[in-house]
Chains A and B, each alone.
Chain A
Amino acid sequence: MSIELKNVTYRYNRNGAEDTPALKDVNLTVEPGQICGIVGHTGSGKTTLVQQLNGLLTPQEGTVTVDGEDFSSRDRRAELRRKVGLVFQYPEYQLFEETVAEDIAFGPRNMGLAEDEIRERSAEAARMTGLDLELLGDRSPFELSGGQKRKAAIAGVLAMRPAYLVLDEPAAGLDPEAHREMLDMLVRICSEWGCGIVLVSHNMDDVAAICHRVYVMEKGSIVMGGTPDQVFSRSGELREMGLGLPAAAELTVLLRKEGVLPDAPRIPLNAEEAAELIAARLRLKGQGEK
């Protein structure tokens, strides 16, 4: 069980002047119960990659399979697409039903489910996003706050109970509190539902905090892949690509440059780890105590 991309190459303009592939020989595995981060510059191919994951685009070379099946069969395509929920950037712009409840129920209703089942799935999806359906269900989506709209849009995707969930910058534009709630929600969806999650993000602190695996894209290729530990330890290469680091790693790199901290294979990825390391270096009495 997984989404598998094998040697995927994709060109937008096959015979035109710009024949540079948007994706070049990409290999990627998304497993259930794991959060997989995809980072890279604007224009590095992240969005093109995401569209391969649920068959919106099909590769000219290589294969994309979801739990062993590809998107070539027309009969199975709709079913497979439901397995992979896709949440675009600013998904709240795609709300369109008259009420929030109807918007969330749109997907399950399209699947031809019974009313009871639709209601149950909607309630479950709303609960997962933290949206109060009792209070807001009868309102128009346009009456919700920005954060609530985003939750409603994501609940609409969750109500189809996808096995995989792909999100493009889900926290963009949210206030810090709503941002934290979004990350917590992704972790919950992953652990409680065993969903395989793909998170496309520019925020390295978010990626380091919640992802099990990280893939770095550049010019249509995956140039690095591994655990956050492995990827962010290659700070020099990331810097050369113009990509940032989690704040704790950034601080460590500066201190290594100053000769304050020694080079080490591991780099701290969160505030606690960095503080521990620096406290030891400063020979603070309180070190080790919490």
Chain B
Amino acid sequence: MIDFNGVSCRYKREYAGEGALPVTALDDVSFHIPRGSFIALVGRNGSGKSTAARCMNALQLPSGGTVLVDGADTSDDEMVLTIRQKAGMVFQNPDNQLVSSVVEDDVAFGPENLGLHPDEIRKRVDRAMKAAGIYDRRLDSPDELSGGQKQRVAIAGVLAMEPECIIFDEATAMLDPAGRSAVMEMIRRLRERGTTVVLITHFMEEAAEADEILILKEGKILSRGTPAEIFAVPDLISEAGLDLPAAVKIRNLLRQRGADIPDRVLDIKSLAEWIAGNCPENVPG
């Protein structure tokens, strides 16, 4: 779905008194994101995650290498609209993404720009609002909504474009726990429908749900693997300035005390299940 081939993003940044200093946001990065997969992109602030995200829908062009979205080169001007339609993006701050004073107008903004027939627009907007769980607020003003609800509207706006891939750039960072779990629930549903999902996040519990985690450090890929593989290497996690999910911390302490808990146990629920299944009284026979 998305291919980075030797992608570099270098630019000069002016510093008062020090002149222009070169900044390398991405340094010769190559990776492939298979269609229908769910990839988490993690790393410190400034590691290049957001730059990579912006390259995925032609908001930013690389200074070296190529980015292909479903085979189309993001540097090809004629393909930009097609690419943005295929790869939708949800940003951190819901307030910066909403443009209309009525929810359903906001959701319709994208499809209207695609020049679709009004009937088709209506159908898509209704479907998107229902999928995002915001249909019953369709006639309200976004101002009346909570942060989590606004983020649902932003997501509905992207869904109405019927993209094959959605990139969430720290889309849960400003939400409360309820808002965050609502967004994660939507991601699970998108994945069932076969939509490719790229999730940029600082929450390791969210990253643990992905098929694969890609760790960026100083503009380079530090590691890539399944969550079970990645969270099995604590040194890697601290090198990248990350953290282990809370369940993995408890799991590791139990391992130190002799419990033989497998790497795939990454969340509180599956840890509880493992413990319940391995309690002396609960062992069959």
**B218 CB, nearest partner CB in chain A, Å:** 12
**B177 within 8 Å of A (CB atoms):** yes
Given the contacts A173-B173, A274-B250, A41 and B178 also touching, CB distance less than 8 Å? yes
A176 CA to B215 CA in the complex, in Å? 13
Q: Which of B83-91, B127-135, B270-278 forms part of the interface with chain A?
A: B270-278
Taking CB atoms, residues of chain B closer than 8 Å to A281 are 275, 279
Whether A146 contacts B45 by the Cβ 8 Å rule is: yes
A174 to chain B minimum Cβ distance, whole angstroms, is: 7
Q: Which of B15, B249, B280 contacts A282 (CB 8 A)?
A: B280
Interface flags for B176-207 (1: CB within 8 Å of A; 0: not) read 11110000000000000000000000101000
> In the complex, how many angstroms separate the beta carbon of B112 from the nearest chain A beta carbon?
31
A146-B46 contact given A242-B178, A260-B276, CB 8 Å threshold: yes
**Which residues of chain A come closer than 8 Å to B254, judged between CB atoms?**
275, 278-279, 282, 284
- List residues of chain B with CB within 8 A of the CB of A255: 272, 275-276
CA distance A247 to B280 in the complex (A): 24
Interface contact A143-B243, CB-CB below 8 Å:
no
Tell me if A234 counts as interface (CB < 8 A to partner B).
no
Question: Which residues 129-143 of A sit at the B interface, judged by CB distance below 8 A?
Answer: 138-140, 143
Interface hits, A231-279 → B, CB 8 Å: 242-244, 247-248, 250-251, 254-255, 258, 260, 271-272, 274-275, 278-279
Q: How far is the CB of A91 from chain B (nearest CB, A)?
A: 14
| B66-74, B152-160, B227-235, B255-263 - interface stretch | B255-263
- Tally A residues with Cβ within 8 Å of B: 48
Say yes or no for B269: interface residue by CB 8 A criterion. yes
Interface-located stretch among A78-86, A120-128, A177-185:
A177-185
Distance (whole angstroms) from the CB of B137 to the closest CB of chain A: 15
Please classify the interface of chain A as helix (H, G, I), strand (E, B), loop, or mixed, using the class held by over half of its residues.
loop
B17 to chain A, nearest CB (A): 6
Check B250–A202 contact: CB distance below 8 A. no
A244 to B205, CA, bound (A): 14
Taking CB atoms, residues of chain A closer than 8 Å to B257 are: 275, 279, 284-287, 289
CB of B51 to closest CB in A, whole Å: 13
B residues near A (Cβ < 8 Å) are: 13, 15-17, 43-46, 92, 146-148, 170, 173-174, 176-179, 202, 204, 241-243, 246-247, 249-250, 253-254, 256-259, 268-269, 271-272, 275-276, 278-280, 282
Q: A176-B204, A271-B249, A286-B256 are in contact. List 8 more A-B contacts (CB 8 A).
A: A42-B178, A175-B45, A178-B44, A247-B249, A254-B268, A254-B269, A271-B253, A284-B254
Question: Would you list the 5 A-B pairs with minimal beta carbon distance, nearest first?
Answer: A247-B246, A275-B253, A176-B243, A177-B241, A254-B272
